């Protein structure tokens, strides 16, 4: 899109393009909140970037999940060459087919992350090698699954390791509800910056106690 836009409680899923930006292609100023971008694909053999999101403009994403998107090249979850701000996001299980870039977030512009899970994103060609990011600016309290190929200056509260996400779940009757619940022992629990947390999570539930890193608050905790 170009110009100004706002998406609230929206599901962007199952789209396929032979160009960049399988789910969302943004060259304007866009805000996305309480939404999920899921199973979109950019499959162009000579480009194919940004399976979930391709941003060359100004993009803010809040309390949302970007998951299981695919691309041929960089940024199966998010490709950013513009100005990107992510807060309380979960970016997980996105998959890039070929080498070159990073599968979760590939950034050549300005990308600022806070209270965000970026994990379990992979390169298919190399046997599902972890590939969460190449670079970003941390504002603190992010949980990165793997630092393979990823450069950033760590800030207070940043964590590295398995976020212990439950299986992706969605109520297809409720737009924007696709998410990963946190398992009970997840390091994301009570680990976000309280002052920077959104008052409600992706599902509209109130943040409780010390809020959790990622899109979903602990009311949905599952498993061991």
> Which candidate, 203, 155, 151, places its Cα nearest to that of 182?
203
Q: Look up the domain containing 50 and give its range.
A: 4-220
Q: Which tokens hold the place of 188?
A: 């994301």
Report residue 85's pLDDT band, with 50, 70 and 90 as the boundaries: very high
Q: How confident is the model at residue 224 (pLDDT cuts 50, 70, 90)?
A: low
Whole-prediction pTM value?
A: 0.94
Number of domains in the chain: 1
Q: What is the pLDDT of residue 165?
A: 96
* Digit-coded pLDDT (tens) for 6-60: 999 999 999 999 889 999 999 999 999 999 999 999 987 767 899 999 999 999 9
- 126-183 residue pLDDT tens: 767 889 999 999 999 999 999 999 999 899 999 999 999 999 999 999 999 999 999 9
For residue 196, count CB atoms less than 10 angstroms from its CB and return exposed for 0-12, middle for 13-18, buried for 19 or more. Answer: middle
pLDDT at 57: 98
Confidence at residue 124, expressed as pLDDT on a 0 to 100 scale: 85
Q: Do the beta carbons of residue 136 and residue 107 sit within 8 Å?
A: yes
Q: Is the pLDDT of residue 95 over 80?
A: yes
């Amino acid at each position: 899109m170009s110009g100004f836009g706002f998406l609230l409680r929206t599901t962007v899923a199952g789209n396929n393009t032979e160009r960049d930006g399988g789910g969302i292609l943004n060259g304007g100023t866009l805000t996305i909140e309480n939404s999920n971008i899921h199973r979109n694909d950019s499959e162009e053999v000579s480009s194919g970037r940004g399976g979930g999101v391709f941003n060359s403009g100004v993009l803010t994403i809040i309390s949302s999940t970007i998951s299981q998107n695919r691309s041929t090249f960089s940024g199966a979850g998010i490709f950013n060459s513009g100005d990107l701000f992510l807060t309380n996001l979960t970016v997980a299980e996105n998959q890039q087919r070929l080498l070159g870039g990073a599968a979760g977030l590939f950034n050549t512009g300005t990308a600022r992350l806070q209270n965000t899970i970026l994990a379990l994103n992979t390169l298919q060609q190399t046997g599902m090698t972890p590939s969460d990011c190449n670079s970003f600016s941390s504002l603190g309290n992010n949980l990165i699954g793997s630092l393979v190929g990823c450069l950033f200056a760590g800030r207070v509260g940043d964590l590295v390791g398995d976020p212990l996400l439950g299986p992706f779940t969605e109520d297809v009757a409720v737009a924007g509800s696709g998410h990963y619940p946190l398992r009970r022992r997840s390091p994301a629990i009570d680990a976000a910056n309280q002052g920077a947390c959104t008052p409600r999570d992706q599902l509209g539930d109130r943040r409780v106690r010390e809020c959790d890193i990622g899109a979903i608050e602990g009311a949905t905790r599952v498993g061991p």
